[in-house]
């Protein structure tokens, strides 16, 4: 199974990288960009064959290592 994890900053948390990307886009002539928020995408191959157990395992990974629960949100998608 494959787990795809999207990790983003929680609303209200400052995003200096997103701000830098927004400014760079503006300097390259891309107007109309109101806000940029940067995050992480992680893909993990699992041996597990049960989607519910795979999701539970990846949830533990996110809570213990992959995401900073104080400032980040995450979403998990499990596929075959």
User: What is the pLDDT, as a whole number, of residue 33?
Assistant: 97
The DSSP output letter for 1 is -
pLDDT digits (tens, 9 = 90+) for 10-35: 999 999 999 999 999 999 999 999 99
> What's the pTM value of the predicted model, to 2 decimals?
0.89
The DSSP output letter for 80 is -
pLDDT digits (tens, 9 = 90+) for 29-67: 999 999 999 999 999 999 999 999 999 999 999 999 999
User: What is the pLDDT, as a whole number, of residue 46?
Assistant: 98
DSSP per residue over 13-74, as a string?
S--HHHHHHHHHHHHTT----------EEEEEE-S---HHHHHHHHHHHIIIIIS-TTTEEE
CATH 3.30.9.10 assigned to 2-79: no
User: What is the pLDDT, as a whole number, of residue 71?
Assistant: 98
The token duo for 55 is 């999701």
Whether residue 3 contacts residue 78, with contact meaning beta carbons closer than 8 Å, is answered with yes
User: What is the pLDDT, as a whole number, of residue 61?
Assistant: 98
């Amino acid at each position: 199974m494959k787990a795809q994890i999207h990790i983003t900053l929680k609303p209200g948390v400052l995003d200096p990288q997103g701000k830098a990307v927004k400014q760079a886009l503006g300097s390259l002539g891309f107007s109309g960009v109101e806000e940029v928020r940067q995050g992480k995408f992680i893909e993990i191959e699992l041996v597990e064959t049960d989607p519910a157990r795979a999701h539970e395992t990846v949830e533990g990974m996110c809570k213990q290592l992959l995401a900073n629960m104080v400032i980040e949100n995450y979403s998990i998608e499990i596929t075959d």
